[in-house]
A and B are shown apart, each in its own frame.
Chain A
């Protein structure tokens, strides 16, 4: 099972919106609405930001939103803030292992 594909880096200025893509196959992202997104600051554990493609857990900022089209899921951060600078990972259920696969990770830089 190969990792889901994410861009290595995305950057934006404060207040702007950015979008991170997560590309898989019909066996994972495209086949199920079980995509989640995690934020990880240096030296910290990951934090769940989006689950089941577009749902936000309590405690996650409403500036974060998720969507999916075909085999590609996306995380959009609106009104970019300095504290959004972190690594972001997508994850999906996969029928290949019947468990989970993570994306390659994206480093978000706030200019």
Chain B
């Protein structure tokens, strides 16, 4: 079964840091680009960051550029998001998403269940 499982969310004070992880299984992880998408409480989806299969290209939304860093470890079938200088507006459910249906697609065909990040004093 193709599956993505996020972890690492929690409560953090403004200015703090968190590292999110996404464990992938059921597919050849290093064939696919991977992304992080977030959803604020009661709000819509927001693309946060993406990374190509070989980490050759990384991209960030303007709202997180310079504060967040995406990375992956293909040997561990894992995706990461290092979040620094967190702000209250970063609060939300963070989803890990796989590009698909094929590795050349530009859609997200598999999503994790999300991990909640709350930035509050």
Contact = CB atoms under 8 A, between A and B. Distances in A.
Interface string B58-96: 010110000000000000000000000000000000010
Contact of A103 (B44, B50, B108, B111): B44
Contact of A101 (B47, B57, B114): B47
Contact of B44 (A3, A45, A58): A3
Contacts of B59: 97-99
Contacts of B35: 99-100
Interface string A30-45: 0010101010100001
Interface residues of B, number: 23
Interface residues of A, number: 28
Interface in A89-111: 89, 91, 93, 97-105
Interface stretch (A12-20, A46-54, A67-75, A77-85): A46-54
Contacts of A36: 106-108
A48 B44 contact: no
Contacts of A87: 44
A57 interface: yes
Given A97-B61, A100-B47, A102-B45, A46 B108 contact: yes
B112 interface: yes
Nearest to B97: A46
A74 B59 CA distance: 27
Given A48-B107, A51-B109, A52-B107, 14 more contacts: A36-B108, A38-B108, A46-B45, A51-B101, A51-B107, A57-B100, A57-B109, A97-B59, A97-B61, A99-B47, A99-B50, A101-B47, A102-B46, A105-B44
